[in-house]
Amino acid sequence: MRKFVVAVLLLGFIVVGTGVRTSCAGEIDLLLQKLVEKGVLTAGEAQQIGTETKEQIKAEIAAGQYSSLPAWVQNTKLKGDFRLRYQMEHTSGSTSRTYRQRERIRLRLGVESKANEKLLVGIGLATGLNDGSADAARSTNATLENGFSKKIISLDYAYAQYMPNSWMTLIGGKFKNPLWEPGDLIWDTDINPEGGVIQLSRKLNSRVEGFLNAGVLVLDELSTSNHDPMLNVVQSGVKIGLSDTVSLKTALSFYNAAKVKGQKLDGTAGTNRNNGTASGNQLLDGYTTLTPAAEITVKDPLKSLGIELPMLGVFGEYVNNPQAKDNGNGYMVGCKFGAEKVSKWGDWQFAYNFAQLQQNAVLDILPDSDRVGGKTGVRAHEGILQFGLGKNTALNIDYYYGWNMASKHAGAHVAQVDWNVKF
Amino acid sequence: MKSFSNIIKVTLFVLALAVPCFAEKIVVEGSTTVLPIAQKAAEVFMNSNPGVDISVRGGGSGVGIASLIDGSCDIGDSSRPIKDTELDKAVSNNRSLKANVIAMDGICVIVHPSNAVSALSKQQVKDIFKGSISNWQKLGGPDEKIVAVSRDSSSGTFEAFGTLVLDGEKVRSDALMQASNQAVASTVSRTPGAIGYVGLGYLTASVKAVDVDGVKASKETVLSGKYPIGRPLFMYTNGAPKGLVKQFIDYILSKEGQKLVEEEGFVGLN
Amino acid at A267: G
Q: Which long-range contacts (CB under 8 A, 24 or more apart) does B181-188 make?
A: B181/B151, B181/B157, B181/B265, B184/B110, B184/B149, B184/B150, B184/B151, B185/B110, B187/B149, B188/B110, B188/B111, B188/B112, B188/B149
Task: Check whether B16 has a pLDDT greater than 80.
Answer: no
Task: Check whether A14 has a pLDDT greater than 80.
Answer: no
* Confidence (pLDDT) at A13: 55
SS (H, E, C) A221-247: CCCCCCCCCEEEEEEEEEEEECCCCEE
Q: Which residues in chain B are closer than 8 Å to A45, comparing Cβ atoms?
A: 269
CA distance B239 to B220: 30
Percent of chain A with pLDDT over 90: 64
Given an 8 Å threshold on Cβ–Cβ distance, is B81 in contact with A42? no
Task: Check whether A22 has a pLDDT greater than 80.
Answer: no
Given an 8 Å threshold on Cβ–Cβ distance, is A51 in contact with B99? yes
Neighbouring-strand partners of residue A246: A298
Q: How far is A200 from chain B (nearest CA, A)?
A: 14
One-character DSSP codes across B106-169:
EEEEEE-TT-S--EE-HHHHHHHHHTS--BGGGGTS-S-B-EEEEE-TTSHHHHHHHHHTSTTP
Q: Which residues in chain B are closer than 8 Å to A42, comparing Cβ atoms?
A: 223, 269-270
Task: Check whether B195 has a pLDDT greater than 60.
Answer: yes
Between residues B5 and B154, the one the model is more confident about: B154
Given an 8 Å threshold on Cβ–Cβ distance, is B92 in contact with A74? yes
pLDDT digits (tens, 9 = 90+) for A92-147: 877 788 999 999 999 999 999 988 888 999 999 999 988 878 788 999 999 999 99
Mean model confidence pLDDT for chain A? 89
Given an 8 Å threshold on Cβ–Cβ distance, is B91 in contact with A203? no
pLDDT digits (tens, 9 = 90+) for A210-269: 999 999 999 999 888 888 999 999 999 999 989 878 999 999 999 999 999 988 888 888
* Confidence (pLDDT) at A255: 97
CA distance B266 to B203: 11
Between residues A109 and B4, the one the model is more confident about: A109
* Confidence (pLDDT) at A9: 61
Among A49-63, A253-267, A384-398, B117-131, which stretch is predicted with the lowest mean pLDDT?
A: A49-63
Q: What's the mean pLDDT in B201-207?
A: 86
* Confidence (pLDDT) at B163: 87
pLDDT digits (tens, 9 = 90+) for B177-188: 988 888 999 999
* Distance linking the first and last C-alpha atoms of chain B: 58
pLDDT digits (tens, 9 = 90+) for A310-369: 999 999 999 999 999 999 999 999 999 999 999 899 999 999 999 999 999 999 999 999
Given an 8 Å threshold on Cβ–Cβ distance, is A63 in contact with B91? yes
Q: What's the mean pLDDT in B141-146?
A: 92
For testing the chain B interface, which of A3, A35, A167, A206 should be mutated: the one with the most B CBs within 10 Å?
A206
Given an 8 Å threshold on Cβ–Cβ distance, is B97 in contact with A308? no
Q: How far is A62 from chain B (nearest CA, A)?
A: 7
Q: What's the mean pLDDT in A276-305?
A: 89
Is the pTM higher than 0.80?
Answer: no
* Confidence (pLDDT) at A165: 86
User: Which residue of A33, A45, A59 is in closest CB contact with B97?
Assistant: A59
Confidence bin at B13 (pLDDT 50/70/90)? low
Q: How far is A199 from chain B (nearest CA, A)?
A: 16
Confidence bin at A3 (pLDDT 50/70/90)? low
Task: Check whether A180 has a pLDDT greater than 90.
Answer: yes
Burial of residue B83, with CB atoms counted within 10 A of its CB: 0-12 exposed, 13-18 middle, 19 or more buried: middle
pLDDT digits (tens, 9 = 90+) for A62-102: 877 767 777 777 788 899 999 999 999 998 877 788 999 99
Q: Which residues in chain A are closer than 8 Å to B91, comparing Cβ atoms?
A: 59, 62-63, 66
* Confidence (pLDDT) at B9: 57
Q: Which residues in chain A are closer than 8 Å to B71, comparing Cβ atoms?
A: 166
CA distance A83 to A141: 9
Among A14-28, A49-63, A409-423, which stretch is predicted with the lowest mean pLDDT?
A: A14-28
Among A31-45, A71-85, B27-41, B53-67, which stretch is predicted with the lowest mean pLDDT?
A: A31-45
Q: Which residues in chain B are closer than 8 Å to A308, comparing Cβ atoms?
A: 170
Instruction: Calculate the alpha carbon distances from A264 to A267, A274, A360, A361, B197 in Å.
Output: 9, 9, 14, 17, 69
For testing the chain B interface, which of A22, A42, A47, A167 should be mutated: the one with the most B CBs within 10 Å?
A47
Residues 6+ apart with CB under 8 A from A199: A168, A169, A170, A171, A178, A211, A212, A213
* Confidence (pLDDT) at A183: 94
Q: Which residues in chain B are closer than 8 Å to A298, comparing Cβ atoms?
A: none
* Confidence (pLDDT) at B79: 86
Between residues B32 and A393, the one the model is more confident about: A393
User: Which residue of B87, B170, B234 is in closest CB contact with A59?
Assistant: B87
Between residues B23 and A75, the one the model is more confident about: A75
Say yes or no: A63 contacts chain B, CB-CB below 8 A. Answer: yes
Given an 8 Å threshold on Cβ–Cβ distance, is A47 in contact with B101? yes
Q: What's the mean pLDDT in A11-29?
A: 57
SS (H, E, C) chain A: CHHHHHHHHHHHHHHHHHCCCHHHHHHHHHHHHHHHHCCCCCHHHHHHHHHHHHHHHHHHHHHHHHHCCCHHHHCEEEEEEEEEEEEEEEEECCCCEEEEEEEEEEEEEEEEEEEECCEEEEEEEEECCCCCCHHHHHCCCEECCCCCCCCCEEEEEEEEEEEEECCEEEEEEECCCCCCCCCCCCCCCCCCCEEEEEEEEEECCCCEEEEEEEEEEECCCCCCCCCCCEEEEEEEEEEEECCCCEEEEEEEEEEEEECCCCCCCCCCCCCCCECCCCCCCCECCCEEEEEEEEEEEEECCCHHHCCCCCEEEEEEEEEECCCCCCCCEEEEEEEEEECCCCCCCCCEEEEEEEEEECCCCCCCCCCCCCCHHHCCCEEEEEEEEEEEEECCEEEEEEEEEEEECCEEEEEEEEEEEEEEEEC
CA distance B72 to B76: 10
For testing the chain A interface, which of B54, B173, B261 should be mutated: the one with the most A CBs within 10 Å?
B173
Given an 8 Å threshold on Cβ–Cβ distance, is B223 in contact with A74? no
Which residue of B lies nearest to A55 if distances are taken between CA atoms?
Answer: B99
Q: Quick one: which of A292, A295, A275 has its CA closest to A283?
A: A275
Instruction: Calculate the alpha carbon distances from A116 to A75, A178, A252, A303, B93 in Å.
Output: 8, 22, 34, 47, 11
Confidence bin at A7 (pLDDT 50/70/90)? low
* Confidence (pLDDT) at A291: 96
Q: What's the mean pLDDT in B246-257?
A: 95
User: Which residue of B91, B99, B232 is in closest CB contact with A62?
Assistant: B91
* Confidence (pLDDT) at A8: 61
Between residues B115 and A94, the one the model is more confident about: B115
Which residue of A lies nearest to B59 if distances are taken between CA atoms?
Answer: A206
Task: Check whether B3 has a pLDDT greater than 70.
Answer: no
User: Which residue of B58, B72, B101 is in closest CB contact with A166?
Assistant: B72
Q: What's the mean pLDDT in A160-169?
A: 92
Q: What's the mean pLDDT in B8-29?
A: 59
**Phi, psi of B166, rounded to the nearest 5 degrees:** -85, -5
Interface confidence (ipTM) of the complex: 0.70
